[in-house]
Amino acid sequence: MASAPNGPSSAPSNGPQGASCSDSVAAKAETTLLAALRRAFCFAPRLTASAPAMSSPASSRASSSTSSEDTARLLGPTSIMVGLSGGLDSSLLLTLLCDLRTSGELTLPLRAIHINHGLQEAADKWQLHCETLCAQLGVKLTVCAVDCSLNSAGVTTERAFAESATVSEEAARHARYAAYEGALDAGEWLALGHHQDDQLETLLLRLARGSGVDGLAGMPSARVLGAGALIRPWLEIPRQSLEDVARTRKLSFVEDPSNQNTHYDRNLLRVGVLPLIESRWPRYRQSWGKSQQLVRESCELNADLAEIDLKVCLAAGASRLCVAEMALLSSPRRRNLLRHWLISLGCSAPSWKLLNRLDSETCVHTDQSAQWQCGAYSLYRFKGELIAVREDDFEPQVMSKQHAPSADEVRIELPGNGILILLSGSETIVSDSHFSVRYRQGGERLSLPGRPSKSLKKTLNEESVAPWLRDRLPLVFIGNELLWVALLGPTAEAAKYTEVNASGQGLGVTFEWLSPALELSREANSRL
């Protein structure tokens, strides 16, 4: 849990007895910490995805969809921004980076950011402590106040946070990283003070939640974030090393009183579970770290395999998969491919339940249409393909007024749905007080030229109009008379408006719909 401190404190001293031994341990720990920072920020060439300090640049979660542009962001920072809570980890990280700056080893611009969650009474005091520390170190500080009371985690009140610790942690984390992403400049790296103990806690939490190999790989040492990247240079160093250095330096930092509250999952692991494990298996950190490294390698192999399968199964466009090719793969490979594909499109990692549904249902009854939901995406099986369509904030509404008219055409802007263009005689039809552009509500009927009257729904099915387009199709009306349907063309009743007879009578209006929604339908495009 990203917490905030309670008040200034410093690491306790061990007293005179055994002080020299303690100082020696602390000096060795400081050397280790500084070496990690030098590897991350001071040496050239800059870090790459294969460099030791970035052994898992974006974990499988990000690396599976890392573009060349994303890779470039991981090659080296243009500046550094330290995530500063005011606690021991972040305060020490900023202090040691300032030491490297003072010695001339660090030449990159350095600043800090503090996220004020506003969830506890002492939040403003924690912010003040960060401001004081940055003033002492000569570091520019950016403060971001975030609203954790209403966010994507569905938390509505501070009381709700208290009643649901798990939701509280997730909500605060979501708000915090959103603020980080928004604050990063192009090419800038966000440095966080996460250490080995944080990584082990994350591993146990994900085990408890039934995570797959991507989750069990733990937090990545680096990944793309916003316009820049995120790096955790101390992820392989135990917290005890940080405490030893803070103690000898008499570092001032702040403590979060909730850190001892075992109502929070992470605190329970830190206070009650990990010490018990260490008492029985003193070297568990090394063995667990080895296991996580093996899991990370498995993630990389899974991503490589998914890329191979994606090249075979990809249809026309990145958002379309060929179902027949998918059916030739084993079930685990299909799930691996589907997960990789959805993440590469920018979708949140799909749940195990959804992956199982997609795997079991996609290749069954391939002659029928089907639909699934994955976050902001709708997935359609349509004409032998699995198609991902990103849902936006499109809200169907009646449009009856003309926009941007010219001598030759009238353009009607359709919010969230492109434009409708009327050519030749368009001003006459649009000026009709009964003219309107609507969307399908149900019950509409039409007669296409030379064909009997049918429901619009049946006609769309017969014409094999893509399912994701049907509710977006603009319908042109004069009163309650349907004149034109996008992709289908003018109705039989529209002749007086769309045709010109031998005597030159008639408006000859033509319609054209231009919308991003059409990009996912090759057949729809061919009909225009």
Q: What is the pLDDT of residues 438-470, one digit of tens each?
A: 998 888 998 888 888 899 999 998 888 888 888
- pTM (2 d.p.): 0.69
Range ranked top by mean pLDDT from 304-308, 315-319, 396-400, 509-513: 304-308
Rounded Cα distance between 347 and 63, Å, is: 14
Q: In angstroms, how far is CA 428 from the centroid of its own chain?
A: 48
Q: 510-514 and 419-423 as β-strands: parallel, antiparallel, unpaired?
A: antiparallel
Specify whether the backbone of 437 is left (phi greater than 0), alpha (psi in -120 to 50) or beta: beta
The identity of residue 454, as a single letter, is K
pLDDT at 336: 95
- Average the pLDDT over 67-90 and give the result: 80
How many whole angstroms separate alpha carbon 189 and alpha carbon 179? 14
Which residue did the predictor score with more confidence, 315 or 89?
89
pLDDT band at 101 (very low <50, low <70, confident <90, very high): very high
Bigger pLDDT: 522 or 379?
379
Of the given ranges (150-164, 228-242, 248-262, 301-315), which has the lowest mean pLDDT? 150-164
Above 70 in pLDDT, residue 501?
no
Query: What confidence score (pLDDT) does residue 423 get?
Result: 77
Interatomic CA distance for residues 375 and 480, integer angstroms:
37
Phi-psi region of 329 (alpha: psi -120 to 50; beta: other; left: phi over 0): beta
More confident: 29 or 494: 29
Quick one: average pLDDT of 354-381? Answer: 84
pLDDT value at position 73?
62
What is the model's pLDDT at position 71? 59
Q: Which residue segments constitute the domains of the chain, with CATH numbers given? A: 18-291 (3.40.50.620), 314-390 (1.20.59.20), 409-527 (no CATH)
Q: Which residues contact 136 (CB under 8 A, 6 or more apart)?
A: none
**Mind listing the pLDDT tens digit for each residue in 197-240?**
999 999 999 988 888 888 888 899 998 899 999 999 999 999 99
Mean pLDDT, residues 424-448: 80
Give percent above pLDDT 70 in the chain: 78
